[in-house]
């Protein structure tokens, strides 16, 4: 094979590898328990959600894979999904993790740094819970140190705590890389994004509905919140109607 043909061949391979039409659905939850509350999903409803994703052949991907996909350096499954849990509630770990295991899905737990203690307290998970999650292939990332509305922060020391200390704490305790954040209340403005980058986060998620694809701004990822009035089945049928080719 001449070098000219080899180069053309490699270019062809690369263009196939990195120009795919994959989209990433990101669904998120808070509590997973039997309590009646708008921020709660009952375990059997959560199982319905996971089953729907399985039937439609969705695959969970890691946040590292997601970040590389947005940079255009990684191929991911056509129907990729991120399943996340905000705030770090113990009930989400107890009830969602075994169900996700059954369907071979991995989750992302965006935790509030200051609520994570050596023992479970106030319904929040413990450090031991997070260590177990990481050991079993789930991801733990930042939901800030104290759940402050980032769009309202003024003083530098608050940025340091909300974005820096939480990262140092989780990285030190869990031996992971903290590079993603879900913004409390989904709240963000123009001055927040440079701060997120300054503290070495490469991925951020709002609460704006929508699918993520190669054109998504890494700091403005979309997520769909699952609830009793918005189950995964409804979310998928909405996207199937609007993006039929995504389901082929
Ligand atoms: Zn929150």
Q: What is the pLDDT of residues 223-238, one digit of tens each?
A: 999 999 999 999 999 9
Rounded distance from Cα 143 to ligand 1 centre (Å) = 7
pLDDT for 9 equals 53
Rounded distance from Cα 110 to ligand 1 centre (Å) = 8
Instruction: Report the chain's mean pLDDT, rounded to a whole number.
Output: 93
**Cβ atoms within 10 Å, residue 14:** 10
Q: What is the pLDDT of residues 164-215, one digit of tens each?
A: 999 999 999 999 999 999 999 999 999 999 999 999 999 999 999 999 999 9
Residue 9's contacts (CB-CB under 8 Å, 6 or more residues apart) are: 1
What structural domains does the chain harbor?
20-141+209-247 (3.20.20.370)
* Distance, CA of 155 to CA of 173 (rounded, Å): 27
Q: Is the pLDDT of residue 155 over 90?
A: no
Using pLDDT thresholds of 50, 70 and 90, give the confidence band for residue 10.
low
* Distance, CA of 202 to CA of 194 (rounded, Å): 11
The percentage of the chain sitting over the pLDDT mark of 90, rounded to a whole number, equals: 88
Rounded distance from Cα 91 to ligand 1 centre (Å) = 15
Q: What is the pLDDT of residues 119-152, one digit of tens each?
A: 999 999 999 999 999 999 999 999 999 999 999 9
The percentage of the chain sitting over the pLDDT mark of 70, rounded to a whole number, equals: 92
Rounded distance from Cα 81 to ligand 1 centre (Å) = 20
Using pLDDT thresholds of 50, 70 and 90, give the confidence band for residue 17.
very low
Q: What is the pLDDT of residues 77-104, one digit of tens each?
A: 999 999 999 999 999 999 999 999 999 9
Using pLDDT thresholds of 50, 70 and 90, give the confidence band for residue 7.
low
pLDDT for 154 equals 83
Q: Is the pLDDT of residue 113 over 70?
A: yes
Rounded distance from Cα 186 to ligand 1 centre (Å) = 8
Rounded distance from Cα 221 to ligand 1 centre (Å) = 16
* Stated length of the chain: 248
Q: Would you say the C-alpha torsion 223, 114, 32, 180 has a positive or negative sign?
A: positive
Rounded distance from Cα 85 to ligand 1 centre (Å) = 9
The token duo for 147 is 């759940």
pLDDT for 38 equals 87
Q: Is the pLDDT of residue 8 over 80?
A: no
Q: Is the pLDDT of residue 15 over 50?
A: no
Rounded distance from Cα 148 to ligand 1 centre (Å) = 9
Rounded distance from Cα 68 to ligand 1 centre (Å) = 26
Rounded distance from Cα 102 to ligand 1 centre (Å) = 27
Rounded distance from Cα 88 to ligand 1 centre (Å) = 9
Rounded distance from Cα 3 to ligand 1 centre (Å) = 55
pLDDT for 156 equals 84
**pTM attached to this predicted model:** 0.92
CB contact at 8 A, 107 and 96: yes
CB contact at 8 A, 111 and 139: no
Rounded distance from Cα 184 to ligand 1 centre (Å) = 5
Using pLDDT thresholds of 50, 70 and 90, give the confidence band for residue 2.
low
């Amino acid at each position: 094979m001449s070098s000219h043909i080899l180069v053309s061949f490699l270019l062809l391979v690369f263009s196939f590898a990195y120009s795919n039409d994959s989209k990433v659905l990101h669904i998120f939850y808070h509590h997973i328990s039997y309590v009646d509350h708008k921020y709660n999903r009952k375990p059997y409803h959560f199982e319905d959600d996971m089953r729907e994703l399985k039937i439609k052949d969705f695959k969970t991907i890691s946040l590292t894979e997601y970040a590389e996909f947005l940079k255009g350096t990684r191929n991911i499954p056509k129907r990729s999904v991120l399943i996340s849990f905000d705030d770090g509630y113990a009930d989400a770990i107890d009830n969602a993790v075994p169900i996700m295991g059954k369907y071979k899905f991995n989750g992302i737990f965006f935790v509030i740094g200051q609520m994570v203690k050596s023992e479970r307290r106030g319904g929040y998970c413990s450090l031991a819970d997070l260590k177990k999650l990481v050991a079993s292939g789930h991801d733990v990332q930042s939901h800030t140190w104290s759940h402050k509305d980032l769009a309202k922060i003024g003083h530098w020391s608050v940025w340091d705590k909300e974005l820096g200390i939480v990262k140092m704490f989780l990285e030190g305790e869990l031996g992971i890389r903290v590079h993603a954040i879900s913004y409390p209340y989904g709240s963000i403005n123009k001055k927040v994004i440079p701060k997120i980058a300054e503290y070495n986060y490469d991925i951020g998620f709002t609460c704006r509905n929508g699918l993520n694809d190669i054109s998504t701004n890494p700091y403005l990822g979309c997520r769909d919140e699952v609830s009793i009035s918005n189950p995964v089945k409804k979310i998928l049928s909405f996207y199937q109607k609007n993006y039929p080719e995504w389901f082929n």
